[in-house]
Amino acid sequence: MRILIVMAHPDDPEFAAGGTIAQWAREGHEVIYCLATRGEKGSDDPMMAPEQLAAIREKEQRQAAAVLGVREVIFLNYTDGTLEPNLTLRRDIARMIRRYRPEIVVTMDPQTLIRGNRYINHNDHRAIGLATLDAIFPAAGNPMHFPELLQEGLEPHQVREVYLSTTEHANHWVEITDVFALKMAALRCHASQIRDPLALEQRLRERLRHQIDGREILAESFRRIILEG
């Protein structure tokens, strides 16, 4: 299969679905990243220039993707912190869907505003999730939407499944016990964002721990949508 990961910032794919991505790549599936921004506002250092940080984070993201076995990383170069689910972003994502023709698209659940009563979901995360869903249906699969894409030689494409991460409505879990080390190795590539990798690993192990048939596993959760053809 071909799988398109559509997220807002560098490190979003690894936090949200790094183990699942590693598992898919290990199984021989083709995984492609499409990131809306380069994460140039992801620092509280007043001496850090946005363009400098963007270059750092782009390099970190490409290294992390290589660790997981991702084939390609595309940046749409929107401004970090200002994403809106408008027609321009929708068209750009629909273009990626038509170009790469994935069976599965992974993005963030736009319905998640507050998570676990302790985390406010970033506005860019909500915006990318909504824009991606609108791009999947109906824009990517309908020739009447964005006819300029037809002029680019991009025919309509129907996505088969959607995986929504960072969700409060999970209905699907992917065991990542055997690839958790790969997830952590990819996350450690994001050195500009992660100050204490050991503490992060402990938190993630707690968050991802599940009991299945008396066996303790690590698993990432998603809201999985199987689209009718």
Q: What is the pLDDT of residues 164-217, one digit of tens each?
A: 999 999 999 999 999 999 999 999 999 999 999 999 999 999 999 998 888 899
Contact yes or no for 31/59 (Cβ under 8 A): no
pLDDT of 229 above 80: no
Question: In CATH, what number is assigned to the domain containing residue 20?
Answer: 3.40.50.10320
Here the tokens at position 89 are 């972003």
How much of the chain, in percent, has pLDDT values that exceed 90?
94
Residues 6+ away with beta carbon under 8 Å from 196: none
Confidence of residue 117 (pLDDT cuts 50, 70, 90): confident
Q: Is the peptide bond before 138 cis (omega within 30 degrees of 0)?
A: yes
Rounded to 10°, the helix 123-134/87-100 angle is: 60
pLDDT of residue 213: 81
What pLDDT shows up at residue 228? 84
Residue 115 has pLDDT above 90, yes or no: no
Q: What is the DSSP string of the chain?
A: -EEEEEESSTTHHHHHHHHHHHHHHHTT-EEEEEEEE--TT----TT--HHHHHHHHHHHHHHHHHHHT--EEEEEEEPTT-----HHHHHHHHHHHHHH--SEEEEE-TT-SEETTTEEPPHHHHHHHHHHHHIIIIITT-TTS-HHHHHTT-------EEEEES-SS--EEEE-GGGHHHHHHHHHT-TTT-S-HHHHHHHHHHHHEEEETTEEEEEEEEEEEE---
Mean pLDDT score, 155-166: 98
pLDDT at 6 over 90: yes
Q: Structural domain tally of the chain?
A: 1
Q: Which amino acid is at 221?
A: S
pLDDT at 82: 97
Q: What is the mean pLDDT of the chain?
A: 96
Confidence at 51, pLDDT banded by 50, 70, 90: very high
Q: Is the pLDDT of residue 53 over 90?
A: yes
For residues 12-19, average pLDDT: 98
Structural domain including 66 reads 2-226
Segment 60-111, tens digit of pLDDT = 999 999 999 999 999 999 999 999 999 999 999 999 999 999 999 999 999 9
What pLDDT does residue 97 have?
A: 98
Within 13 A of 48's CA, how many CA atoms are on the CB side? 16
Q: In the prediction, which pLDDT does 212 show? A: 80
